[in-house]
Copies of this chain bind each other. A is one copy, B any other.
Amino acid sequence: MEQQYSSALLGKAVDEFAKLPGIGRKTAMRLVLHTLRLDADKVDGFCNALSRLRHEVTYCTVCHNISDTEVCSICSNPQRDGRLICVVENIQDVMAIEATMQYKGLYHVLGGVISPMDGVGPSDLEIQSLVDRVEEGGIDEVILALSSTMEGDTTNFFISRKLARFDDVKLTVLARGLSVNNELQYTDEATLGRSIINRVPFRC
């Protein structure tokens, strides 16, 4: 049974919040009541930020990362190493890698992985534009940083075939192995097995 609200405006706002993923009606009500207690300009600020994001945000024409300008702040940064391209699935992956502070090259956001089951083929992804970027020259290495799933592996394979003719461009993938701080006994067999095969010299 649907809850009745004494204010239609309140009911509408709760409905709208409850449409967001992971937010049920109780949480929606809590957020709406919080909104009512806020200053009007705070609420306007929230709405404005969301509306501007949806209407004004764009995607970098080079790497397809989310951006406020035609070329994103990473691609246009002269401090970054333009000879390195890290291929990722989506913009969250860019943020995850940026958060490590370990990578100074550029990115290429595919917008997904090849997944015939979901109707996603190579032409739905930014693969041709990646090939074009490599073809333009000046690239030393392409890092394939996709998920270690069947779809990710398929996409890696497809891209490696497309880039095979560029002999001087190195293709690499991220290292797989034990997580830092993870206990050995709780690591899954596939990862543990891979970490034995790909063992590296001990450095202290």
Contact = CB atoms under 8 A, between A and B. Distances in A.
A12 B66 contact: no
A54 interface: yes
A33 B9 CA distance: 26
Interface of A is mostly: helix
B92 A33 contact: yes
- For A21, A44, A57, the residue with the greatest tally of chain B CB atoms inside 10 Å of its CB is A57
A3 interface: yes
Interface in A38-52: 38, 40, 43-52
A199 interface: no
A33 B66 CA distance: 10
A186 interface: no
Tell me which of A1, A10, A65 has the highest count of chain B C-beta atoms within 10 A of its own C-beta: A10
Given A92-B33, A99-B3, A10 B43 contact: no
B67 A13 contact: no
A27 interface: yes
B34 A55 contact: no
Residue from the set A35, A47, A56 with the largest chain B CB neighbour count within 10 Å: A47
A176 interface: no
Interface in A71-114: 72-74, 91-92, 94-95, 98-99, 101
Given A40-B54, A47-B47, 7 more contacts: A5-B95, A7-B68, A7-B72, A9-B53, A9-B57, A36-B57, A36-B66
24 contacts: A1-B99, A3-B95, A3-B99, A4-B99, A6-B74, A6-B91, A6-B98, A7-B66, A8-B68, A9-B52, A9-B56, A9-B68, A13-B50, A13-B52, A20-B31, A21-B30, A33-B91, A33-B92, A35-B54, A36-B57, A38-B54, A43-B54, A44-B54, A47-B50
